[in-house]
Amino acid sequence: MKAFRKVFLFLLLLFFRFNFLVAQEAEKAGADHGGSAWFVNAGIGVQMSGIKDEDFVSHNIAPLINITAGKWFSKELALQAGYKGPYYNAIADDKKHHYYFLYGEALMNINSLFPDYDPAAFWRLLLHAGAGYYYSQDYKRPNICANFGISNYLLLTNRLKGFLDVSAIVGWDIYQGDEDILPGVTMGISYSF
């Protein structure tokens, strides 16, 4: 548990440090994102262990919780820190494999790359990639893993967006002793302030 606290505090400090380094860009970024640069996302969905044909069975599906907080630094780039968990199922047994994944990542607004980009548009497509601290309750040891994904945001109100996120935790020896992947899909809301 001490390792969890240390990593969480490190990611939190790193996140706030980035905020102070680019303070001059914050007001401009806020204007590009409805007057608010900070955001919080909360989503629920499903995940499974693996992407091979034999992994697509009903008892391999598990719930997924994804909570993130971040800040837009320009119309193209944001940084966020987040949590994924609480467990996944495997096809090898009927056990719930508990874990937590604390991560930081960069978000890139794909829509902003087009010349006719409108910051107040109804729809936004984001790519995100980063790395984080993965801890398996089964292995009782930490692991550094990558997180990749694509998110689709729909404007609900000036500060509230709905989203669909398709992403995966990718690493070595997460659950089967070699290269592993935990793909997941979450739906949720994003609040800007």
Instruction: Sketch out the chain's domains with CATH numbers.
Output: 2-192 (2.40.160.20)
Continuous H helices in 22-129: 23-32
pLDDT above 50 (res 129): yes
Q: Which residues of 124-148 are buried (b: 16+ CB within 10 A; e: fewer)?
A: bebebebebbbbbeeeeeebebbbb
When mean pLDDT is compared over 14-18, 145-149, 174-178, the highest value belongs to 145-149
Quick: pLDDT tens for 46-104.
998 877 665 666 778 899 999 999 999 998 999 999 999 999 887 778 888 899 999 99
Length of the chain: 193
